[in-house]
């Protein structure tokens, strides 16, 4: 459960560190993440080199550890509290950010992808990030602009990409279609300062879908693996769109997550 002070801080900054997972839980998640990276699946995305894994999507549907993780009280309870009602998993991904080869995530807000791409009507969403490795200055930590969520959905021109069936691929590549450019970033940083999300494995970060964020390349000889669970309010289902993205990017089944008992962990 989040305290009132923590909730205020989240509303103010657009992000918040919550109660971390245990070392044993994080070890299990890392082991299972590596298994998912090896599994050839439609939700697996490669870096530009064509062979380094960039991330995998939808593992909570096929892997029992991740199925349990999305019901973990340390993950789903704060999300439910912040959103004020039952939630379902809109998107689940594990980003690999491999040592030396993990590529950038350009500056962006998430909501524009879900609003324009998936027909989501309101930003009634919380992202829960779980660090699987220590995030340091060197391994491409998540960068955020505190308070930027208060700017609402920023007007960002859509970069033209190849259309067709696989158009969604650029939404999760290093060439995002709705990236924030230097003039806008410069304007935003007049009132706030880029903050790197650093911390030990097991750290949990909650962040707002309108928070401006990015991450650089991994310059370290070690990975920066991170899970991102996106919860949406059950009463904010996706609307009709001309070309719906695959289910592993935008779930259309809004069955509420059934939280594990309070105090439960990944094992029992
Ligand atoms: C994201 O913005 O969805 C991912 C950022 C990261 O893994 O650094
Ligand atoms: Mn993002």
Residue 157's pLDDT is what?
A: 86
Domain ranges (residues) in the chain: 4-233
Fold of 4-233: Jelly Rolls (2.60.120)
Cβ of 233 closer than 6 Å to ligand 1, yes or no, is no
Residue 94's pLDDT is what?
A: 98
| Mean pLDDT of the 42-58 span | 96
- Ligand 1 test: best mutation among 148, 211, 228, most atoms within 8 Å of CB? 228
Percent of residues, the chain, with pLDDT higher than 90 = 91
Of 153, 145, 152, 125, nearest in space to 209 by CA? 125
- Answer for the pair 91, 249: CB distance below 8 angstroms, yes or no: yes
Predicted TM-score of the model (pTM): 0.97
Q: Return mean pLDDT, the chain.
A: 96
Cβ of 95 closer than 6 Å to ligand 1, yes or no, is yes
Residue 173's pLDDT is what?
A: 79
Q: pLDDT tens for residues 72-129?
A: 999 999 999 999 999 999 999 999 999 999 999 999 999 999 999 999 999 999 999 9
Complete DSSP assignment for 178-243: T---HHHHHHHTTT---EEE-B-TT-EEEE-TTS-EEE----SSS---EEEEEEEETTS-----SS
39-48, 114-123, 159-168, 238-247: least confidently modelled range: 159-168
Percent of residues, the chain, with pLDDT higher than 70 = 98
Residue 163's pLDDT is what?
A: 64
pLDDT band at 159 (very low <50, low <70, confident <90, very high): confident
Cβ of 107 closer than 6 Å to ligand 1, yes or no, is no
- Ligand 1 test: best mutation among 142, 171, 198, 209, most atoms within 8 Å of CB? 142
Cβ of 238 closer than 6 Å to ligand 1, yes or no, is no
Cβ of 213 closer than 6 Å to ligand 1, yes or no, is yes
Residue nearest to atom 7 of ligand 1 (CA): 95
Residue 192 has pLDDT above 70, yes or no: yes
Question: Which ligand is the nearest neighbour of the Cα of 142?
Answer: 1
Question: Which residues contact residue 91 at a Cβ distance below 8 angstroms, ignoring those fewer than 6 apart?
Answer: 57, 228, 229, 230, 248, 249, 250, 251
- Answer for the pair 188, 148: CB distance below 8 angstroms, yes or no: yes
Q: pLDDT tens for residues 239-265?
A: 999 999 999 999 999 999 999 999 999
Of 118, 92, 17, nearest in space to 248 by CA? 92
- What is the Å distance from ligand 2's center to 268 Cα? 31
- Answer for the pair 144, 208: CB distance below 8 angstroms, yes or no: no
Residue 165 has pLDDT above 70, yes or no: no
């Amino acid at each position: 459960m989040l305290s009132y002070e923590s909730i205020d801080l989240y509303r103010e900054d657009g992000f918040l560190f919550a109660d971390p997972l245990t070392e044993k839980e994080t070890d299990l998640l890392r082991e299972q993440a590596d298994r998912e990276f090896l599994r050839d699946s439609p939700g697996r995305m490669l870096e530009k080199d064509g062979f380094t894994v960039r991330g995998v999507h939808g593992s909570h549907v096929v892997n029992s550890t991740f199925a349990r993780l999305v019901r973990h009280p340390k993950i789903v309870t704060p999300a439910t509290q912040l959103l004020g009602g039952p939630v379902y998993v809109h998107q689940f991904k594990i980003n690999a950010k491999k040592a030396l080869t993990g590529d950038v995530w350009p500056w962006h807000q998430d909501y524009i992808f879900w609003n324009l791409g998936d027909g989501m009507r309101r930003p009634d969403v919380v992202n829960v990030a779980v660090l699987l490795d220590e995030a340091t200055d060197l391994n491409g930590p998540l960068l955020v602009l505190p308070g930027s969520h208060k700017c609402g959905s920023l007007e960002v021109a859509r970069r033209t990409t190849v259309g067709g069936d696989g158009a969604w691929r650029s939404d999760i590549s290093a060439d995002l279609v709705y990236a924030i450019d230097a003039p806008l970033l410069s304007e935003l940083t007049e009132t706030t300062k880029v903050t790197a999300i650093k911390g030990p494995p097991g750290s949990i970060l909650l962040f707002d879908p309108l928070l401006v964020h990015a991450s650089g390349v991994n310059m370290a000889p070690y990975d920066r693996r991170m899970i991102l669970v996106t919860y949406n309010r059950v009463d904010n289902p996706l609307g009709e769109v001309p070309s719906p993205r695959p289910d592993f990017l935008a779930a259309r089944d809004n069955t509420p997550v059934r939280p594990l008992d309070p105090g439960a962990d990944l094992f029992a």
